[in-house]
Amino acid sequence: MANKAVTMEKLVALCKARGIIFPGSEIYGGMGNTWDYGPVGVEIKNNLKRAWWKRFVQESDNSYGVDAAILMNARVWDASGHTTSFSDPKMDCKECKSRHRADTLIEAHSKGKVNPDTMSNAEMEAYIQEHQVHCPICGKFNWTNIRTFNLMFETSRGVTDESQNKIYLRPETAQGEFVNFLNVQRTTRAKVPFGIAQVGKAFRNEITPGNFIFRTIEFEQMEHQWFCKEGTDGEYYDSFKQKAWQFLLDLGFDEKHLRFKDHDKLAHYAKAACDIQYEFPMGWSELNGIHNRTDYDLTRHQEFSGKSMTYIDPITSERYIPYVIEYSIGADRLMLATLSEAYDEETLENGEVRNVMRFHPAIAAYKAAVLPLQKNLAPQAKELWEKLKKYFSVIYDEAGSIGKRYRRQDEIGTPYCITVDFDTLENGTVTVRERDSMEQIRLDLNGVIAFLTEKCIF
Ligand code: ATP
């Protein structure tokens, strides 16, 4: 059962009102399906990326990070197969000129009962014809045939725009890890199995972007490629499924809102593939993917670049091209799932409704808010704020009643409110109010840093 309190409309409104996410280029009337992260949102998203990096690089034995260029040699995309086959089946409504994905039309029409992933274009056309699937925009039935539409954004380098200068905005970060396989292996002296991780922007000219930040044309991916020997790939595929699942549980996701979904139709190079789906406000959808990509990528890069991608085992001198287990999750999609999971409307004893975002403290934009009970306590409160700022992202607020200030912090999910009051002057203690339980404790001023450090670790 999805988080009952949340709807997409409520999330979009809250994000705009509280500085989490704004519509892109808003003063110019916007630009469809682009979004800008505001002061609160950028902190949350950075914290998600940090938590991911900590789990999959910092705390993982034998995993290393890279930050590869977005613009890559165009041959990379020939080798990866993107120039020829990174496309979606597009249909246009001849009446209202709207553009749709045939697979999405079928999925929506059959209410998820028919899986278009296993259908050819001809089969999809036949289904749409037979079931008279009408245009969801104008309600008419007058389609073009399916045409495949490459999702890569093209641009050109240099001063001329001749076709040989054509380059692409990367549609995934994975290739940056594959082309650096030997660079990383050599410089870290890593032995297979080892991993390469990357967090960065990717771009796809999606036919049907939408659902807020779920599907956009520019987004961030967090990808981890695990290079291993053929024969061990099945075991690592299973362990990455578990690791990806555990990461979500540790972020505070309710297991009831998550499920595994095996791919019905595997990509030609894949040996196994599954998604973890989350029950988003609009329904169950992919949150991340885990793929056994075999030795396809490195073999293709060897073929197209002419450079050997062979790994030589330092002990056995065995030579082979490793298999790859890929784990890939969109930072923005994780952000949407996190927002949706955290959203709550709590009815208090006095009947008032409290909006609260129940983020994991490590993910919350601010670890604490420092609040002087009254304005004349501002100097002492600011002193504490200055001290805490060196360690954490902390906010200061002195405007309005203490109750209103607590509510403001609840709405952006600040886990702790630290109030400086008259007792602070007398005995050097502060009140710490916890967001979820609203319970208050008194804490020695000297213990605040240790308290927040312990509570906010991921
Ligand atoms: P989908 O089926 O939703 O189009 P995909 O299977 O093409 O996704 P991958 O290519 O495996 O996705 O990308 C890995 C991850 O990147 C996805 O699980 C998702 O979290 C994220 N992602 C992919 N496309 C988008 C997008 N257009 N906007 C936001 N995030 C995306």
What is the domain-level CATH number for residue 444?
Answer: 3.40.50.800
Q: CA-CA-CA-CA torsion for 49, 209, 81, 108, nearest 10 degrees? A: 120
Residue 280 included in any domain: yes
Average pLDDT over residues 171-178: 98
- Name which residue sits closest to atom 25 of ligand 1, judged by CA: 215
Residue 77 included in any domain: no
- Contacting residues for 268 by C-beta, under 8 A, at least 6 apart: none
User: Is the same domain home to 100 and 198?
Assistant: no
- Substitution site in 205, 212, 288, 333 for ligand 1 pocket (most atoms within 8 Å of beta carbon): 333
User: Is the same domain home to 52 and 120?
Assistant: no
Tokens of 310: 């062979």
Higher pLDDT, 120 or 62: 62
Q: How far apart are CA 70 and CA 153, in angstroms?
A: 12
Q: In this model, does residue 161 exceed pLDDT 70? A: no
State whether the beta carbon of 212 lies less than 6 angstroms from ligand 1: no
**In this predicted model, what pLDDT tens digit does every residue of 88-108 receive, in sequence order?**
889 999 999 999 999 989 988
E strand residue ranges, 7-111: 21-23, 35-37, 63-65, 87-92, 99-101
User: Is the same domain home to 57 and 190?
Assistant: yes
How remote is the CA of residue 367 from the centroid of ligand 1, in Å? Answer: 30
**In this predicted model, what pLDDT tens digit does every residue of 136-157 receive, in sequence order?**
999 999 999 998 889 999 998 8
Q: How far apart are CA 219 and CA 446, in angstroms?
A: 42
User: Is the same domain home to 236 and 333?
Assistant: yes
pLDDT category at 1 given cuts 50, 70, 90 is: very low
Residue 346 included in any domain: no
Q: How far apart are CA 213 and CA 219, in angstroms?
A: 8
Residue 240 included in any domain: yes
Residue 248 included in any domain: yes
How far is CA 40 from its chain centroid? 16
Residue 427 included in any domain: yes
The amino acid occupying position 283 is G
Nearest ligand 1 atom to alpha carbon 223: 14
Average pLDDT, the chain: 95
User: Is the same domain home to 279 and 400?
Assistant: no
pLDDT category at 3 given cuts 50, 70, 90 is: low
Q: How far apart are CA 335 and CA 87, in angstroms?
A: 26
- Name which residue sits closest to atom 23 of ligand 1, judged by CA: 330
User: Is the same domain home to 26 and 94?
Assistant: no
State whether the beta carbon of 293 lies less than 6 angstroms from ligand 1: no
How many structural domains comprise the chain? Answer: 3
Average pLDDT over residues 337-353: 95
Q: Which residue range(s) make up the domain with 448? A: 366-455
State whether the beta carbon of 175 lies less than 6 angstroms from ligand 1: no
Tokens of 305: 């670049």
Q: CA-CA-CA-CA torsion for 46, 50, 53, 59, nearest 10 degrees? A: 180
Nearest ligand 1 atom to alpha carbon 289: 18
Nearest ligand 1 atom to alpha carbon 216: 28
CB 171 within 8 A of CB 206: no
State whether the beta carbon of 328 lies less than 6 angstroms from ligand 1: yes
Run of H or E including 86: none
- Name which residue sits closest to atom 13 of ligand 1, judged by CA: 328
State whether the beta carbon of 185 lies less than 6 angstroms from ligand 1: no
Residue 297 included in any domain: yes
User: Is the same domain home to 58 and 119?
Assistant: no
Q: How far apart are CA 211 and CA 260, in angstroms?
A: 21
User: Is the same domain home to 184 and 66?
Assistant: yes
- Contacting residues for 426 by C-beta, under 8 A, at least 6 apart: none
**In this predicted model, what pLDDT tens digit does every residue of 388-437 receive, in sequence order?**
999 999 999 999 999 999 999 999 999 999 999 999 999 999 999 999 99
Q: How far apart are CA 200 and CA 195, in angstroms?
A: 17
User: Is the same domain home to 16 and 50?
Assistant: yes
User: Is the same domain home to 252 and 327?
Assistant: yes
According to the model, what pLDDT value does residue 156 have? Answer: 87
- Contacting residues for 300 by C-beta, under 8 A, at least 6 apart: 79, 80, 81
Q: List, in sequence order, every residue forming a beta bridge with 372; answer none if it has no partner.
A: 420
Share of the chain above pLDDT 70, in %: 98
User: Is the same domain home to 192 and 302?
Assistant: yes
State whether the beta carbon of 330 lies less than 6 angstroms from ligand 1: yes
